[in-house]
Amino acid sequence: MKQIVTPQPTAMTVPHLSRSVLLAALLLGGCASYHPEPLPTSADLAASANSLDVARSKIALPALTRYNFDTAKPLDATGLAILAVLNNPQLKAERARLGVARAQAFDAGLLPDPQLGLSRDFPGNSAGATTSAYNLGLSYDIAALITHHAAQSAAQHAAIQVNLQVLWAEWQTVAQARQLYTQITGNAARLKLLEQERALFAQRLQRSQAALAQGNVTRLDVDAQLVPLQALTQTIQQIERQQLSLQSQLHALLGLQADVPLPLAAPSEQAAPTAAQVAAALKQLPRIRPDLMALQAGYAAQEQKVWQAVLGQFPAFNLGFTRARDTAGVNTVGFGVSISLPLFNRNQGVIATQRATRAQLLADYQARLDQADADVRQAQADIALLQQQRQTLQDALPALESADAAAQQALQQGGMSLLEFINQRTALLDQRLALQANAQQRAEQILALQLLTGLGPYRQTAAQVSPSKSNAAPL
């Protein structure tokens, strides 16, 4: 009887097993792991101004990084702008978009993985079969390499576009903070004028009521003072409601709770950009404004997409190598090539779409460039007109003040009726309010012109294409 000998593992069995285990461990080690990120369940607003981020080194605007301020003291426009850039919730969300764009650029730079195929056949009751058969194949999409550089370049330009869009959002946030400061302090100055005037009218009304009780004046004289007093009260209440809305907007811009006290410093007059500065900025707008540079980056990305579509019209090419063994124990080594025949599609639809998109982006950029030029010139003209009107208002003020002083003396001497005095006093108040409104409008137009031209706090950032570092999403 023939003895059956069980085959023993050869010396190569353990090393082969070790290499397989090591290869599997390396493949698994390179995989990303999953970690859940739960949504927040409550608002994340600062409970005090002292808890806001004040790390100026994170800001992309040099003029703001060099500015020193203390959140414990009343804040001026620049201090508010710094806090807004670092703490605005919407900017935090915008910076998260930058993380997505960078991840997409990283993904576009990765080469496609090769394809590995393995099959094995086990013989049935075939008399000629001596062993099991297998087929091992390794293939790669060569066509993906042809378009890889264009796709990667398009994604990189798209990431730059998002980067610049975030920087432009920071510019706009700075402008919004400064504008809210101007509006709030302007309303405060207007309220101060109106409160002083209301106090004078209320004091005069009390004296008239006392005189009425003594029979020295008529009821009509007393009632005549109620009308301007009531009008002043209504105007004050309207401005107070507007002030509350503006303060709420400012708190939201800074990521502050609505009830947090936020004292503001007295405003200082802002110098308007000179005509020479504006003219120089107009020539450099495409290299100054982040929104225009973002459109340029988007157009560059689209150019690469057009090139990628053109490359995609060439036949898809797939190359593979195989190793096989049949059931008779015959081993073979070979290769395979597959090519798509560009007879009907040839990627012409994609090419047409990408070219049309490029034409649209070109038109959009030209329209934005034209609008930017028009906005700058309009703001410049508005400032010049407001300056002329300011001079006219200032020239007329001394005469009205002299007339008011004379009217008060005439009223005391009985040479002027109470209604005439009220009209004279109202004219002086209107003139002072007009001067204050003119100053506020001029300040707002200067802020707008600085934003449109990259002057003021935005100066010297043309070469910088990175937004502030705070809360940027990592890759």
pLDDT digits (tens, 9 = 90+) for 66-80: 888 787 889 999 999
Tokens standing for residue 444: 């707002």
Residue 18 has pLDDT above 80, yes or no: no
What is the predicted pLDDT for the residue at 91?
92
> What does the pLDDT average to over 12-16?
48
What is residue 60's three-state secondary structure?
coil
Query: Each residue of 176-219: pLDDT tens digit?
Result: 999 999 999 999 999 999 999 899 888 888 888 888 888 777 78
Which pLDDT score, from 0 to 100, does residue 470 have? 46
Angstrom distance (rounded) from CA 125 to CA 250: 85
Separation of first and last alpha carbons in the chain:
71
Indicate whether 10 pLDDT > 50: no
- pLDDT at 345 exceeding the cut of 90: no
The C-alpha angle with vertex 262 and arms to 260 and 266, in degrees rounded to 5, equals 170
Model confidence, pTM: 0.84
Write down the pLDDT at residue 173.
96
Average pLDDT, the chain: 86
Of the listed ranges 9-18, 131-140, 160-169, 292-301, the one predicted with least confidence: 9-18
Identify the residue with better confidence: 466 or 341: 341
Give buried/exposed letters for 191-230 (b at 16+ CB in 10 A, else e). beebeebbeebeebbeebeeeeeeeebeeeeeebbeebbe
Order of strands, edge to edge, in the sheet holding 317-325? Answer: 115-121, 133-141, 317-325, 331-339
pLDDT score of 9 more than 60 = no
Evaluate if residue 7 carries a pLDDT over 50.
no
**CB-CB contact of 319 with 337 (8 Å):** yes
**pLDDT reported for residue 133:** 86
Residue 150, amino acid: A
Provide mean pLDDT across the span 253-276: 92
C-alpha 393/C-alpha 438 separation (Å) is: 9
Task: Assess whether pLDDT exceeds 80 at residue 460.
Answer: no
Q: pLDDT grade, residue 156 (50/70/90)?
A: very high
Token pair belonging to 297: 């980056």
Crossing angle for the helix pair 77-87 and 89-108, to the nearest 10 degrees:
50
- Please report the pLDDT score of residue 468 as a whole number: 64
| Residues 392-433 pLDDT 10s | 999 999 999 999 899 888 988 878 877 788 888 889 999 999
- The domains of the chain, with CATH numbers, are 52-458 (1.20.1600.10)
- Determine contact, residues 208/221, Cβ cutoff 8 Å: yes
pLDDT of residue 12: 42
Percentage of the chain modeled with pLDDT above 70: 90
* Backbone region of residue 71 per phi and psi (left: phi > 0; alpha: psi in -120 to 50; beta: other values): alpha
User: Over 60: is that where the pLDDT of 48 sits?
Assistant: yes
Q: How confident is the model at residue 22 (pLDDT cuts 50, 70, 90)?
A: low
Q: Which residues contact 421 (CB under 8 A, 6 or more apart)?
A: 407, 408, 410, 411
pLDDT given for residue 327 in this prediction:
79
Position 23: which residue type? Answer: L
Residue 15 has pLDDT above 60, yes or no: no
Q: Higher model confidence: residue 443 or residue 18?
A: 443
Q: Report pLDDT for 463.
A: 47
C-alpha–C-alpha distance, residues 100 and 83, integer Å: 25
Phi, then psi, of 221 in degrees rounded to 5: -65, -40
Residue indicated by tokens 């107009």 = 282
Would you say 413 and 400 are in contact if contact means Cβ atoms under 8 Å apart? Answer: no
Q: What is the DSSP string of 194-209?
A: HHHHHHHHHHHHHHHH
Q: Which of 228, 214, 211 is nearest to 414 (CA)?
A: 211
pLDDT of residue 303: 96
3 sits in which H/E element: none
CB 233 within 8 A of CB 66: no
CB atoms < 10 A from the CB of 72, how many? 10
What is the reported pLDDT for 416?
83
Integer-rounded Cα Rg, in Å, for the chain is 38
pLDDT value of residue 127: 67
Other residues' Cβ atoms within 10 Å of the Cβ of residue 392: 12
